Amino acid sequence: MVQVIGQSSVFLDAIERASRAAALNRPVLVIGERGTGKELIAERLHRLSGRWGGPLVTMNCAALPETLIEAELFGHEAGAFTGATRARAGRFEEADGGTLFLDELATLSAAAQERLLRAVEYGEVTRIGSNAFLRVDVRIVAATNEHLPALAEQGRFRPDLLDRLSFEVITLPPLRAREGDIAVLADHFGRRMASEIGWNYWPGFGPAAMDLLEAYQWPGNVRELRNVIERAVYRWDDPERAVSAIEFDPFASPWRLEQPRPPTDAETQTVEKPESERLQRVGLPDGGFKAACLAHEKMLLEAALDQCRHNQRRAATLLKLSYDQLRHALRRHDLLDRTA
């Protein structure tokens, strides 16, 4: 069994609940943030159950496209869809007599949820492309970092499936809530890394380094802690002294590539303001380009008529138009009545 490390009361309570639920042949939901150890709890539920001698089959529901999830879970017959050249057993058949761990449960499609409901309720699965039911004896352990009751209220998760799977719900505390466990885990991962790289003994972490580890919020929880500890140990050049350098962000570098960012509102206004003012200076009306052209045309006609004392033939010559073209333009702007 994978080693579970921790001494905080909130963590031990979750472990105790999992240990008690393991003996029952009922579904269990494991809830927790990323990196809190949901996979470890699933393995504990399997190893402490009467199914310990059977298979423990794991499937990450988020790792497959929606079109393949059902085939992966329930199997398919040859020719069931393009590319299905031969029949294949699904994860339910593979887990017969054991435990099926469904990670990232909330990502299942509506169709997959419906088929999963039947499998949980009746112990029957149907391969895609077949009408024959297959009996399977599988215990479901599912994990998610989503709040499934809220998803059910939003219509994104079947309430009846949630009812079937939530016989027991084990919610794992985040690392920041596990008082005293950061030091225990840091020592464990540090010792293991020191042994891996050939140190003769483990000097531990200095007080300043431990203060940094305790103050950090650990959004990636135990998985992130392990990376930080192992990185700190292997980068430390003096195994005779306690490790005192901690780096939380592995991407930190004075030459780090920066992602292009969208312009701020102030920058957008700075760019757009001169163009806006320029259009205002040339007198752009509310009607846009077409209205501006018509207004300018009318202004030229009126100016030419005034200069030629409303003599249309002279105005046409001044504007380099034919007499008929001028008359047509004057009519368009209702200026014929103003001419002689």
pLDDT tens, N- to C-terminus, the chain (340 residues): 567 899 999 999 999 999 999 999 999 999 999 999 999 999 999 999 999 999 999 999 998 887 788 888 998 888 777 777 788 898 999 999 999 999 999 999 898 999 899 999 989 998 888 888 899 999 999 999 999 999 999 999 999 999 999 999 999 999 999 999 999 999 999 999 999 999 999 999 999 999 999 999 999 999 999 999 999 999 999 999 999 999 999 998 888 887 777 776 665 555 445 555 555 555 566 667 777 778 888 888 888 888 888 888 888 888 888 888 888 888 888 887 755 5
Query: What's the pLDDT score for residue 262?
Result: 72
β-strands 56-60, 168-171 pairing: unpaired
Residues 35, 33: Cα–Cα separation, whole Å: 6
d(CA 95, CA 139): 8
Secondary element (H or E) of residue 57:
strand 56-60
**Per-residue model confidence (pLDDT) at position 283:** 58
What is residue 336's predicted lDDT score, i.e. its pLDDT? 78
pLDDT at residue number 237:
93
| SS3 assignment, position 231 | helix
d(CA 22, CA 32): 18
Q: Which region holds residue 136: left if phi is over 0, alpha if psi is between -120 and 50, else beta?
A: beta
- Domain 179-260: which topology? Helicase, Ruva Protein; domain 3 (1.10.8)
pLDDT at 97: 96
Q: 301 - beta bridge partners?
A: none
* Nearest-angstrom CA–CA distance, 99 and 30: 14
Contacts of 260 (CB under 8 A, 6+ apart): none
Residue 216: other Cβ atoms inside 10 A: 16
pLDDT given for residue 268 in this prediction: 55
The pLDDT value recorded for residue 299 is 84
Distance CA 184, CA 323 (A): 98
**Structural fold of domain 9-173:** Rossmann fold (3.40.50)
Q: Which pTM does this prediction carry?
A: 0.72
Pairing relationship of beta strands 139-144 and 99-103 according to DSSP bridges? parallel
**H or E element: which one contains 111?**
helix 110-122
Angstrom distance (rounded) from CA 115 to CA 302: 78
The token duo for 299 is 């202004």
Give CA–CA dist 133/32, Å, rounded: 34
